[in-house]
Chains A and B, each alone.
Chain A
Amino acid sequence: MDNNSQERSALFAGEGSSTLALVIYLAVAILVMIADRRGGYLDDVHAFAGRLTGPIYTLAEMPWLVGRSLRESMAARKQLNAENEQMRQARLRSELRIAELERDLLEQQRLNKGVALAAREQLQGLPARVIDVDLDPYSHRVLVDRGRVSGVIEGAALIDGAGVVGQVIEVRPRNSLVMLLSDPGHGLPVVNARSGLRSILNGVGVADRLVISSMPLSADLEVGDVLLSSGVGGRFPAGLPVARVVAVERSPGSAFARASAEPLAGLDRVRELMIVSAPFGEGPWPSVELGSANGDQPVAPTSPQAPPAVDEDWSVVDAESAPMQDQGGE
């Protein structure tokens, strides 16, 4: 055993790898983990430390940015033309789709007079891009390139072309950290578009699977149902399409039914996103006037607390038509 010599060299070098120090540091680390997981006592620490990270992300992303700009400048004109043509067609199709949806919406409003099914609140949308850094291939977090400077608030929803991707959990000056729906710590209040049943959709750590773990056995939920965000609980906007139910288990042995759903958005391959948030910051319920369903103009909510110092153009989108939702289902 060279224990002796090790002790001596430790003495000379002044290194502190004694077991006691290790135990103390480990205890601190574990306490920090617990404090961070339960109750988020460390939000201020996150907020402070996050402010310092921006430049590192920029450096880490640099090769990709250079590569992209090179590729873009070298793309042949012909290819651009073809792409342009494709996009024009896609736009036509989506305009058509929007027209259809608007027609459906009007019809629906006529049908349920007085009952504003989805709150007709105006949402604000801000295009964002996922920053090309790899936090951890096994974590359910991504960074997006918009932060406090652009008016992003914590709890804002992120959508891609198909549905909800996740929500902002930490706003930093020029970027924000997004928790994807698939994170086991993520629970989203949803409402079944068909039956109006409310429940909570949880992540399980897999990109293409979400579950509703505790509903009554008699709950009205079927395979193929589309789940929309319900907006219960505050800042997350209501009425955005989230997932489609793929399986419902009602085992006679258990007191609850359990359903699994597939997110409409491709969580593991998101790049271009839209940050959507209801413009009225805090408050348990959006202060939108429900019930004025006859109005063709959506109720423009007066914002007591507009996003501060916005330097980007937030475009106003409708809660219903923001993502191309297809409730029909196959």
Chain B
Amino acid sequence: MSNRGQEWRLFFFALLALSILSLFRLPPMLAPMKPFWVGLLMIYCALEMPRVARLGVAFAVGLMLDVLTGDLLGEHAMRLLILTHVVARFRFRIRFFPVGQQALAVFGLMLNDRILSLWVRLFGGEGWPDLSYWLSPVVAMMLWPWLFLVLDRLRMRGRLRGSSSG
């Protein structure tokens, strides 16, 4: 039970940190490279903490992001739902991939996410974005192993502490 509480605590902490990170303003050159941080978090949760990564959670987190970024309400919700669902579906395969292959899978997921986002934009009447729009999945792929390591380390530490104290 305390294990579950630990997982939720890690989730909320990471969610807060990554939301802030995704609002952080970068120099204009780097701005298009900003990865979809919260999407990466949901991938991690769907892989390692399936009790946290429920569709309802993805939906709620997505709505929160929509409010935070002033976007169309429901856009992030839809993207996170699909992301979470796909990862949950292939969880047992992706989980046992070697790191490189896993990063590649993350690239595919993020590319798919970008396409969804583009689809919403086109519906909203916006034109095609320039090429830099597609940089974000690449960056996400390169950052994935590090994020995975950090989150995993935090989770393990939480688990150890939780078991020793409880």
Q: Which residues of A contact B (CB under 8 A)?
A: 2, 5-6, 9, 13-17, 21-22, 25-26, 28-33, 35-37, 42, 45-46, 49-50, 52-53, 56-57, 59-61, 63-64, 132-139, 141, 143, 170, 177, 184-185, 204-206
Q: A13-B50, A137-B34, A138-B129 are in contact. List 17 more A-B contacts (CB 8 A).
A: A6-B91, A25-B56, A25-B81, A37-B72, A45-B73, A49-B67, A56-B23, A60-B24, A60-B25, A133-B23, A133-B24, A134-B26, A135-B69, A135-B70, A138-B32, A138-B133, A177-B70
Q: How many interface residues does B have (CB within 8 Å)?
A: 50
Contact flags B120-160 to A (C-beta < 8 A → 1, else 0): 11001111010001000000000000000000000000000
Residues of A within 8 A of B81 (CB): 22, 25-26, 29
Q: A33-B78, A139-B69 are in contact. Are A132 and B25 (CB under 8 A)?
A: yes
Question: With an 8 A cutoff between CB atoms, is B89 at the interface?
Answer: yes
Min CB–CB distance A6 → chain B (angstroms): 6
Interface of B is mostly: helix
Is B125 touching A185 in the complex (CB atoms < 8 A)? Answer: yes
Shortest Cβ gap from B160 to chain A (Å): 21
| Interface contact B20-A139, CB-CB below 8 Å | no
Q: Chain B residues with Cβ under 8 A from A59's Cβ?
A: 20
> Nearest residue in A to B24 (C-beta to C-beta)?
A60
- The smallest C-beta distance from A228 to any residue of chain B, in angstroms, reads 25
Provide the bound-state CA to CA distance between A13 and B48, in Å: 12
Find out whether the CB atom of A33 lies under 8 angstroms from the CB atom of B73. Answer: yes
A13-B50, A16-B56, A205-B127 given as contacts; is B73 within 8 A of A36 (CB)?
yes
Chain B contacts with A in 31-87, Cβ cutoff 8 A = 31-32, 34, 50-51, 53-56, 58-59, 62-64, 67-75, 77-78, 81-82, 84-85
Q: How far is the CA of A21 from the CA of B88 in the complex (A)?
A: 13
B102 within 8 A of A: no
**Contact status B24-A63, CB under 8 Å:** yes
Give every chain A residue within 8 A of B16 (Cβ-Cβ). 56
CA distance A25 to B54 in the complex (A): 11
Partner of A32, one of B25, B68, B74: B74
Q: How far, in angstroms, from A25 to B63 measured CA to CA in the complex?
A: 12
Please name all residues of chain B whose beta carbon is closer than 8 Å to the beta carbon of A136 when the two chains form the complex: 69, 71
CA distance A29 to B63 in the complex (A): 9
The verdict on B112 contacting chain A, using a C-beta distance below 8 Å, is no
B93 and chain A: residue at smallest CB distance:
A2
A and B contact pairs by CB, cutoff 8 A, 8 listed: A2-B92, A17-B50, A17-B55, A22-B81, A60-B24, A134-B26, A137-B31, A206-B127
- When C-beta atoms are compared, the residue in chain B nearest to A184 turns out to be B125
Is the pair A134, B24 in contact by a Cβ cutoff of 8 Å?
yes
Chain A residue, CB-CB nearest to B31? A137
**Which residues of the other chain, A, contact B73 by a CB distance below 8 angstroms?**
32-33, 35-36, 42, 45-46
